[in-house]
């Protein structure tokens, strides 16, 4: 799907929500951005700065145009001076926004557990959108109905979007975003033809820089909402209490789902007008989320490893090395991500590498190997290093306590060096220096390694400390990238009064509504009908008036709407006793860009002799409410998805 105005998004691979399915009631209340909570204050400040950045950028664009257009040197000097002020203000605003985006502490848990803070992502801000006039005009022009009749539906849509702007940081907030995302499918089908836009402008701000983007393509709205789903998952993951295994598991699940949302966005949307939804940025976010999943896995292994056995300590060392490798592999976009993010990634890389060497030293120095445990320990030790220690065999290291002590001391030396580097990088970043919990973690682990090194250091040990070999990273739980499951939130088409979506959609073309008066005769009305929701007239009969055409859809009987009526209901309405006959409102479908093909059983009623003939048709334009499973299957069969 393309996020730009010029490209079509017809072939997007989005699981389609259920039409006419079960609906537990729309969530219409988001959190109040002006409420006196730390996170809400932060969100309000972000919105204010985004508006100021937008204003300054408009001023800069106007000044640049004037500078290029004028030939008066004095005016040019004045404009150049104004441009310098505007650029200075923009730089200050972006620095202020970066500081807000770097405020990771607001999203952290209130638990007293001492853990390295996780990196959350702020939500994209957006302006209000007024759908009233564009949708009313489209209904009048395309559907031939009075658009004001649908004021209630338009208001409901706008309330849903307004609530979606400030979702609560829990499951209800996620469901609210998914409800609006699913509702956008119906909005796309109802009001966005393939080669025309509705004339609605969607304004969204970059999550990290605050730079505004404006597009008329509904794909941009979909992509931005999907981005916020992923961002909200990161905030939920960061706030979990990771002092217990259950909280760690919830954090793992949240970050895996965040990675899945960003990965889905990367694979299905293109030509993003904002940098935060570009391919490189989304790739970076996916890798960062996976690295944080690995970090939580290490915390769970540390928490659940009660024994201090040799192999258990080796496993902890390899898990920590795995975290360091994952964090180091995150392709951070230079000059785009906040400096605090880059600093935090570097701090984590050094910190977890130091932990891997600490646990390696603990395994070598703290445990006396028994004869029974030698085979198991040697088997675990074989694949522990990337390359074995120089001049030593693994069996020699395991059997000789002094060699184990010296190798453990080498690991501790590297651990202390890595800890000190992590503390140095931490001290260079003003934002990280304000995070007391991070300072506590780095100080405690550094002191622990120093104390351990002091225990092993001997006065008569004049041998130069050898260089510890690199530890092979390994994990017992590889992170999963969990794609978003939109079917978990069932929605009902807000504009279902327009009629079944298979016929009454923006891609269909039909003639104006025609009213046909039918008089009852001895042979009946002369109609043969098929299907339901809506019912079709399919067979010509000599007594049938010329105003009806084969394939016409019956949309009303005697002024009573029957677009959603079942076959039997329409037959009953036509057969109701009346001496004055009936009036049919019908339309003729001229073209349809998409067609859903399914195998279903329909009943054909011949009103001349009131017989019923049942038959199966493999391909038939469905005009009844389809559930999510059927629509998804139909799309896969017709290659509508990317």
pLDDT at 260: 97
Average pLDDT over residues 37-59: 70
Most confident segment among 99-103, 368-372, 455-459:
455-459
ω into 446 cis (within 30 of 0): no
pLDDT at 333: 82
Topology alike, domains 38-143+151-304 and 501-624: no
Whether 614 shows a pLDDT value over 50: the answer reads: no
- Return d(Cα 85, Cα 427) in angstroms, integer: 32
Q: Is 329 helix (H, G, I), strand (E, B) or coil?
A: coil
Other Cβ atoms less than 10 A from the Cβ of 115: the count is 21
16 compared with 112, residue with greater pLDDT: 112
Most confident segment among 408-417, 531-540, 542-551, 554-563:
408-417
| DSSP 8-state code for residue 140 | I
Q: What percent of the chain has pLDDT over 70?
A: 75
Whether 343 shows a pLDDT value over 50: the answer reads: yes
pLDDT at 115: 84
pLDDT at 610: 32
Cα dihedral sign, 44-46-49-53: negative
Most confident segment among 61-65, 223-227, 604-608:
223-227
Q: What percent of the chain has pLDDT over 90?
A: 35
Whether 110 shows a pLDDT value over 70: the answer reads: no
pLDDT at 522: 62
Phi, psi of 510 (to 5 degrees): -145, 165
Domain locations in the chain as residue ranges: 38-143+151-304, 307-470, 501-624
Q: What is the mean pLDDT of the chain?
A: 78
For 364, left (φ over 0), alpha (ψ -120 to 50), or beta? alpha
The residues pairing with 508 across neighbouring beta strands, listed in sequence order, are 592
316 compared with 86, residue with greater pLDDT: 316
Closest C-alpha among 309, 377, 323, 332 to residue 354: 323
pLDDT band at 101 (very low <50, low <70, confident <90, very high): low
Whether 93 shows a pLDDT value over 90: the answer reads: no
pLDDT band at 44 (very low <50, low <70, confident <90, very high): low
Whether 530 shows a pLDDT value over 90: the answer reads: no
pLDDT band at 399 (very low <50, low <70, confident <90, very high): confident
- Return d(Cα 535, Cα 529) in angstroms, integer: 7
Average pLDDT over residues 400-413: 86
pLDDT band at 617 (very low <50, low <70, confident <90, very high): very low
pLDDT band at 618 (very low <50, low <70, confident <90, very high): very low
Check if CATH label 1.25.40.280 holds for domain 38-143+151-304: yes
Average pLDDT over residues 63-80: 86
pLDDT at 46: 66
pLDDT at 20: 43
| pTM for the whole structure | 0.77
Average pLDDT over residues 546-559: 76
pLDDT at 575: 74
Homologous superfamily of the 501-624 domain (CATH): PDZ domain (2.30.42.10)
- Return d(Cα 377, Cα 367) in angstroms, integer: 11
Helix (H) or strand (E) holding 552: strand 552-557
Burial 328-343 (b: 16+ CB within 10 A, else e): eebeebeebbbbbbbb
Q: Which segment of 12-26, 148-162, 216-230 scores lowest on mean pLDDT?
A: 12-26
Asked if residue 123 lies in contact with residue 228, where contact means CB atoms within 8 angstroms, the answer is yes
> Residue 432: CB partners within 8 Å, gap ≥ 6?
340, 343, 344, 347, 426, 438
139 compared with 562, residue with greater pLDDT: 139
pLDDT at 347: 95
């Amino acid at each position: 799907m393309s996020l730009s105005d010029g490209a079509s998004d017809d072939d997007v691979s989005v699981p389609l929500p259920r039409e006419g399915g079960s609906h537990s009631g729309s969530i219409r209340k988001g959190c109040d951005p002006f409420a006196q909570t730390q996170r809400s204050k932060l969100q309000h400040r972000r919105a204010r700065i985004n508006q100021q950045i937008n204003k300054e950028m408009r001023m800069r664009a106007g000044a640049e145009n004037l500078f290029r257009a004028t030939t008066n040197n004095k005016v040019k000097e004045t404009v150049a001076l104004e441009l310098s002020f505007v650029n200075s203000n923009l730089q200050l605003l972006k620095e202020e926004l970066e500081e807000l985006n770097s405020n990771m502490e607001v999203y952290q848990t209130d638990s007293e557990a001492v853990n390295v803070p996780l990196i959350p992502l702020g939500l994209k801000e957006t302006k209000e959108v007024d759908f009233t006039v564009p949708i009313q005009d489209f209904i009048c022009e395309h559907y031939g109905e009075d658009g004001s009749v649908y004021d209630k539906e338009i208001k409901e849509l706008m309330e849903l979007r307004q609530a979606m702007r400030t979702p609560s940081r829990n499951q209800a907030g996620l469901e609210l975003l998914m409800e609006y995302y699913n509702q956008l499918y119906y909005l796309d089908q109802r009001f966005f033809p393939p080669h025309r836009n509705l004339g609605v402008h969607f304004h969204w701000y970059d999550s990290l820089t605050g730079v505004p983007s404006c597009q008329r393509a509904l794909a941009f709205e979909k992509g931005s909402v999907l981005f916020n789903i992923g961002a909200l998952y990161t905030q939920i993951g960061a706030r979990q209490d990771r002092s217990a295994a259950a909280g760690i598991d919830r954090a793992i699940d949240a970050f895996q789902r965040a990675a899945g949302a960003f990965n889905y966005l990367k694979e299905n949307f293109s030509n993003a007008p904002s940098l935060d939804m570009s391919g490189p940025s989304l790739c970076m976010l996916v890798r960062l989320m996976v690295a944080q999943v690995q970090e939580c896995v290490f915390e769970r292994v540390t928490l659940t490893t009660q024994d201090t056995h040799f192999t258990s300590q080796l496993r902890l060392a390899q898990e920590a090395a795995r975290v360091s490798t994952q964090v180091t592999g995150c392709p951070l976009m230079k000059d785009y991500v906040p400096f605090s993010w880059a600093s935090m990634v570097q701090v984590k890389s050094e910190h977890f590498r130091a932990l891997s060497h600490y646990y390696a030293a603990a395994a070598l120095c703290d445990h006396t190997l028994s004869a029974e445990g030698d085979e198991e320990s040697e088997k675990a030790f074989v694949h522990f290093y990337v390359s074995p220690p120089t001049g030593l065999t693994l069996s020699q290291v395991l059997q000789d306590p002094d060699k184990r002590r010296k190798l453990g001391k080498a690991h501790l030396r590297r651990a202390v060096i890595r800890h000190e580097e992590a503390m140095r990088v931490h001290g260079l970043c003003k934002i990280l220096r304000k995070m007391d919990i991070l300072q506590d973690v780095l100080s405690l682990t550094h002191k622990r390694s120093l104390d351990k090194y002091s225990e092993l250091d001997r006065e008569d040990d004049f041998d130069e400390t050898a260089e510890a070999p690199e530890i092979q990273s390994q994990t017992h739980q590889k992170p999963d990238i969990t794609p978003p499951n939109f079917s978990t939130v069932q929605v009902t088409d807000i504009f279902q009064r327009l009629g079944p979506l298979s016929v009454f959609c923006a891609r269909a073309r039909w003639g104006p509504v025609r009213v046909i008066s039918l008089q009852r005769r001895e042979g009946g009305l002369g109609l043969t009908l098929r299907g339901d929701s809506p019912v079709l007239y399919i067979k010509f009969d000599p007594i049938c008036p010329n105003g009806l055409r084969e394939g016409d859809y019956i949309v009303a009987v005697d002024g009573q709407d029957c677009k959603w009526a079942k076959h039997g209901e329409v037959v009953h309405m036509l057969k109701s006793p009346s001496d004055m006959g009936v009036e049919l409102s019908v339309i003729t479908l001229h073209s349809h860009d998409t067609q859903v093909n399914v195998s279903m059983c329909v009943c054909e009623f011949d009103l001349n002799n009131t017989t019923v003939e049942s038959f199966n048709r493999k391909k038939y334009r469905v005009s009844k409410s389809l559930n999510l499973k059927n629509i998804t299957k139909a799309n896969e069969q017709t290659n509508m998805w990317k």
